[in-house]
């Protein structure tokens, strides 16, 4: 790619996440020769744009870390040469005319709400795109299976599927490759990675953050759409997929798609959504030194939206390997313990010889996301009485990339590798999987529970007591 053109450049996402990722990527020397251009609906001056870049690039420009002297010089040059332009991307012909003024090939990044991205793509014409253009779409990708399908059809008229990057910043190289390396490079694990030996798999993303001024988006999305519909289902698919022949994007993304195609919330053996989905909302409480009000009293929240701040669903992968094994996906805000991990719980041993005392706890494997860690919980003898079983944990750090998550994803965009991007069919399947749960919540057939901010969630949920 020669030019990275960010649409929505004056928005919160660009300043808070996207530009810092760009800065780290360039400063590490992994995006040579790139030109950065910003466009947005706000009438910003050149000085305002430079001020935004200075704030977003500050960490990357500081010596140390993964930044190199050559990379810092390159980033300084990118910043000084970067420009901002006021555009109405939904006006017919306006974006197309602007694209004619930038040097191709172009990575066109839609840092915009989904409805505006859809409209912008509808008025864009294939002949207006410079050769080699890549379209980069932010989540949520559509708002339903039907709207995701419609957006896919619109994008497909502009560029080929392998030139469409649907960004899920959870799918950084560290997350994807650590899970795959752990599974497929260790004969000790892969033969036991199935429903014959595994009781359940939990994928948890609990935050101690509250709304953090994001009510306008979050109060319409909730925990289910914000996290489970996209991020956690993708991680689940990597945990559950069959071994790919290679790490090439076609093999890996096809293996992910195969898992999602056969996945449902609940199944024929456990069809009740009130039994396989849960939702809750935080009430007033304390997180550290912070006093947190009721969610419904937070600024910008409309109680009529009935938004959940903690959600949990049981997904079943209905194939030979995973039949009957629940994949429990949970995410929430304002919790007392920040917890970001996948936990594999193995079934009990078939027979424990009589004479052992102590607690026979299940073997558990924890894969931590940020920081990347691996922990194995085992029962061993002692210390002290050798007949008494005791719990030990074997721990190690996993490899991580010093790039920020958006930097990892953007590296794939700029190098033309869609490995870490969500493929169109899987984007639609993620909506198909969760839509029955969202419909049940909207109908009120699954009760809205409550938990105090700073707690671990409703005490009746097994995941709140782990």
Give the Cα separation of 108 and 165 in Å (integer): 10
Give the Cα separation of 334 and 355 in Å (integer): 45
**Strand 326-332 versus strand 310-317 pairing type:** antiparallel
Tokens coding 2? 């020669």
Tokens coding 108? 């066109």
- Within the chain, how many helices (H) and strands (E) appear? 14, 19
Considering 163, 231, 351, 366, which one is annotated as catalytic?
231
Compute the chain's Rg from CA coordinates.
23
Give the Cα separation of 227 and 330 in Å (integer): 9
Q: Which are the contacts of 153, defined by CB distance < 8 A and separation ≥ 6?
A: none
Region class of 213: left (phi > 0), else alpha (psi between -120 and 50), else beta: left
The 10 Å Cβ neighbour count of residue 205 is 24
CA-based nearest residue to 151, from 198, 178, 116, 101: 116
Give the Cα separation of 405 and 342 in Å (integer): 18
Give the Cα separation of 430 and 139 in Å (integer): 12
Q: Is 257 helix (H, G, I), strand (E, B) or coil?
A: helix
**What's the sign of the alpha-carbon dihedral 352, 356, 361, 367?**
negative
**Strand 388-397 versus strand 448-452 pairing type:** unpaired
- In angstroms, what CA-CA distances link 192 with 196, 361, 362? 8, 18, 14
Catalytic annotation on 231? Answer: yes
Region class of 216: left (phi > 0), else alpha (psi between -120 and 50), else beta: alpha
**Strand 339-346 versus strand 198-206 pairing type:** antiparallel
Give the Cα separation of 23 and 29 in Å (integer): 10
DSSP code of 267?
B
Give the Cα separation of 10 and 40 in Å (integer): 6
DSSP code of 270?
B
Beta bridge partners of 84: 38
Catalytic residues: 231
């Amino acid at each position: 790619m020669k030019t990275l053109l960010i649409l929505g450049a004056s928005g919160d996402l660009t300043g808070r996440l996207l530009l810092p990722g760009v800065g780290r990527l360039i400063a590490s020397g992994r995006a040579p020769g790139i030109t950065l251009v910003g466009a947005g609906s706000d009438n910003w001056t050149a000085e305002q744009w430079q001020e935004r870049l200075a704030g977003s690039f500050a960490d990357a420009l500081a010596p140390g870390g993964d930044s190199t002297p050559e990379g810092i010089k390159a980033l300084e040059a990118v910043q000084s040469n970067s420009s901002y332009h006021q555009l109405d991307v939904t006006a017919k012909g306006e974006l197309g005319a602007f694209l004619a003024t930038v040097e191709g090939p172009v990575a066109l990044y839609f840092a915009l709400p989904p409805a505006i991205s859809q409209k912008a793509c509808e008025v864009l014409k294939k002949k207006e795109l410079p050769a080699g253009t890549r379209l980069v779409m932010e989540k949520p990708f559509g708002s339903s299976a039907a709207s995701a399908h419609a957006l896919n059809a619109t994008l497909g008229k502009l560029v080929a599927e392998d030139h469409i990057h649907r960004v899920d910043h959870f799918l950084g190289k560290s997350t994807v490759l650590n899970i795959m390396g752990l599974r497929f490079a260790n004969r000790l694990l892969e033969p036991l990675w199935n429903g014959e030996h595994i009781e359940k798999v939990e994928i948890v993303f609990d935050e101690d953050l509250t709304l953090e001024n994001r009510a306008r988006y979050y109060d319409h999305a909730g925990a289910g759409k914000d996290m489970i519909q996209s991020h956690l289902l993708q991680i689940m698919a990597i945990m559950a997929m069959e071994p790919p022949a290679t790490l090439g994007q076609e093999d890996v993304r096809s293996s992910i798609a195969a898992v999602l195609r056969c996945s449902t919330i609940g199944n024929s053996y456990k069809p009740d959504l009130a039994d396989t989905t849960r939702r809750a909302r935080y009430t007033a409480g304390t997180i550290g030194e912070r006093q947190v009000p009721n969610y419904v009293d937070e600024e910008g929240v409309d109680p009529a939206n009935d938004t959940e701040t903690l959600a949990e669903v049981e997904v079943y992968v209905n194939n030979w390997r995973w039949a009957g094994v629940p994949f429990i996906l949970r995410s929430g805000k304002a919790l007392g313990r920040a917890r970001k991990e996948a936990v594999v719980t193995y079934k009990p041993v078939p027979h424990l010889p009589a004479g052992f005392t102590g607690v026979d706890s299940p073997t558990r494997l924890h894969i931590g996301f940020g920081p990347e860690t691996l922990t194995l919980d085992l029962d061993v003898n002692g210390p002290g009485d050798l007949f008494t079983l005791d719990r030990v944990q074997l721990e190690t750090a996993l490899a991580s990339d010093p790039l920020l998550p958006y930097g990892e994803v953007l590296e794939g965009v700029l190098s033309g590798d869609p490995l870490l991007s969500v493929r169109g069919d899987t984007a639609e399947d993620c909506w198909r999987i969760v839509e029955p749960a969202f419909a049940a919540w909207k109908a009120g057939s699954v009760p809205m529970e409550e938990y105090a901010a700073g707690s671990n969630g409703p005490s009746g949920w097994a995941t709140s007591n782990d």
